[in-house]
A and B are shown apart, each in its own frame.
Chain A
Amino acid sequence: MSGRRYTVRSLGRELVMIVLAAAYGGPFYMLVVMSLQSKDDVQQTPFAPPIDDPQWDNYATAWTTGGAAGGMGPAFVDTVIITLGSVLCLIVVSALTGYVLARRTSRLSNALYLLFVLGVTIPSTLGLVPIYVVMRNLGLLGTYQGMILLNTAMLTPFAVFLYTGFIRALPREFEEAAQMDGAGMFGTLVRVVLPLLRPITATVAMLTGLIVWNEYFLAIVFLAGSEIANLPLQLNAFVNDYYTDWNLVMAGAAICILPVLVVFLALQKQFMKGFAGGLRG
């Protein structure tokens, strides 16, 4: 047999993959580069990074203009509020529900669990119109509360599914020990179970937070025309105003994309593990 077969082949493979990855990430490169260019740069040399004269104004413009909310800045704030609110609400509701379904092994709870699983797989687009009507009648259109309730309801089946699976796998010994030590149902829940749920809570928060943060369809239906906008909705409005100015478009998109990317890069391992694990159900 010939020599050095292992190393040459693997080096070649590595180089190919690196080149592939670089090409794959090309759009992100362009996002950053173009967001800092002037309108002329964009037309003539869109690939060249504007090291001498980065147009930070693009970001300022995107941050303060466009749409009913008045810029990506206010939209950012709105998105944070909606996301935090939705995720918190979701966690409380689904952790409790998951706990009940996981620890109670009656036929009723199994049936309920199946209903939740069904709710995950079947999309609820059909219910969009009735919900819209209800929210309109309740005056919840274009409000934080409305969006928070909506998001919570939308994602409850998914979150309950994750919690139930996790709690079922959790040994009962901790709760039994707590009760032997005299804790009541709520004591056990708060002091023993909740801390044990940290890993799955992190996963749920991450996955659902991401979905809420990036949600465009619901935003366009339920927030359009109001002063509240989330980032995708605002981006849409901004681009509609400035679609000829690609540098501005990119700046707006960057405001939408970069925060999430930064958080992702900081927590890569958790994100990727969470996705792989959460979706495997």
Chain B
Amino acid sequence: MKLPPYWLAVPGIAFLVAQHFVAPLYGAWYAFTDWSGLGPATYIGLDNFREIFSSEVQRTALWNTLLLAGCFVVLVNVGGIALALALNRTLKSRNYLRVVFFAPVVVSSLAVGYLWRYIFTQDGALNQILGAVGLESLATTWLGDPRWALWTVLVVMVWQFVGEAMIIYLAALQGIGDELEEAALMDGAPAWRIVTSITLPLLAPAITIVSTLSIIRGLRVFDQVIALTGGGPVHATETLSTQVYKQTFVDGRFGYGAAIALIMTLLIATLAIVNAVFFRRREARAG
């Protein structure tokens, strides 16, 4: 059979190489300069990085990013599996319910952020509801309080993306099929044991996928932060992404911003690979 000529793939390869390999390499180089976007770029060695690790703002951003991503992965997995198990069968309304839980996934994260900003505002929905059920004492300035602001971001992230995990787990559960559960029922296993001994081990591949996706998504969180808090109060909710943007395009420190971007990229790459390897091994053990 006549095979397609290689040159058909040239545009694709060109885009790939230019955007995903050459540009990042240049970016990595800028990280070691003090470039401001105009004029010459002078090599300054590790100065940018020294500044990053001594900067309160950057350290907060790094910590926030890791914390958000970590919690996000756990919550999305737990929530996704729970929803998938609940909506897998035996409910008449399951198709409608799946739609409701999945709907937030397709919407702009920024818009979702603004939607929830109202809920968390001082006189917003959450405080109103708390007041209505007699829990006014719990009402506070969620967005303006450094202790709570970051968690509002987490809530929004999980709300938006649990549905995505749910869909992936639903597909995985379909792949596992009913027969194994029936066999376990006949073998006398109670429901919880079926879930822990049979279902969860067999979901291992799906857990890997969801975790990898979620780690990358969590580490890159940007839109929701901008919408909810803009990075405040007083940088309490800054993340690596928001800092990359602000340092580069607001403060004009292209080199510094690139350094932050470099750290972010290395972080994502490492964690994604570690995650994949770690879970692949568990997959292999699970047969």
Binding site for B on A (CB under 8 A): 10, 13-14, 17-18, 21, 24-28, 30-31, 34, 43, 46-47, 93-94, 96-101, 103-104, 108, 112, 115-116, 118-119, 121-131, 133-134, 152-154, 156-157, 160, 172, 175-176, 179, 184-185, 188-189, 210, 213-214, 216-217, 220-221, 224, 231-232, 235-236, 239, 246, 249-250, 252-253, 256-257, 260-261, 264-265, 268, 271-272, 275-277, 279-280
Contact = CB atoms under 8 A, between A and B. Distances in A.
Interface in B6-27: 6, 8-9, 11-13, 15-27
A277 B101 contact: no
Given A14-B91, A100-B6, A275-B167, A216 B257 contact: no
B97 to A, nearest CB: 5
Chain B's interface: helix, strand, loop or mixed, by majority?
helix
A24 B100 contact: yes
Interface stretch (B43-51, B55-63, B244-252): B244-252
A256 B244 contact: no
A13 B110 contact: no
B125 interface: yes
B216 A123 contact: yes
Chain A's interface: helix, strand, loop or mixed, by majority?
helix
Given A126-B261, A176-B1, A179-B1, A216 B115 contact: no
Interface centre among A104, A257, A271 (most CB of B within 10 A): A257
Contacts of A235: 108, 110-111, 114
A134 B248 CA distance: 15
A21 B91 CA distance: 13
B99 interface: yes
30 contacts: A13-B86, A21-B96, A21-B100, A21-B101, A30-B125, A46-B125, A96-B4, A115-B16, A119-B20, A121-B212, A122-B24, A124-B23, A126-B265, A127-B24, A127-B26, A127-B27, A130-B26, A156-B12, A176-B1, A179-B1, A216-B110, A216-B226, A236-B110, A246-B121, A256-B107, A256-B111, A257-B111, A257-B115, A265-B99, A280-B168
B9 A96 contact: yes
A160 B27 contact: no
Nearest to B265: A126
Contact of B93 (A17, A103, A232, A280): A17
B257 to A, nearest CB: 7
A78 to B, nearest CB: 14
A150 B159 CA distance: 29
Given A46-B128, A97-B13, A216-B110, 4 more contacts: A21-B101, A152-B15, A257-B115, A272-B102
Nearest to A154: B19
B209 interface: yes
Given A127-B19, A128-B261, A249-B114, A271 B26 contact: no
Contacts of A108: 6
Contacts of A104: 3-4, 6
B167 A129 contact: no
B171 A280 contact: yes
Contacts of A152: 15
Q: How large is the interface on B (under 10, 10 to 19, 20 to 34, 35 or more residues)?
A: 35 or more
B8 A97 contact: yes
A154 B254 CA distance: 21
Contact of B115 (A18, A99, A188, A253): A253
A129 B103 contact: no
Closest CB pairs A-B (n = 9) = A127-B23, A97-B12, A130-B26, A153-B19, A214-B108, A276-B171, A126-B27, A126-B24, A100-B9
Nearest to B169: A276
B280 to A, nearest CB: 14
Nearest to A224: B249
A62 to B, nearest CB: 12
B235 interface: no
A134 B223 CA distance: 25
B30 A129 contact: yes
Interface centre among B11, B16, B18 (most CB of A within 10 A): B16
Interface centre among A21, A43, A272, A277 (most CB of B within 10 A): A272
B254 A129 contact: yes
Contacts of A31: 115
A251 to B, nearest CB: 11
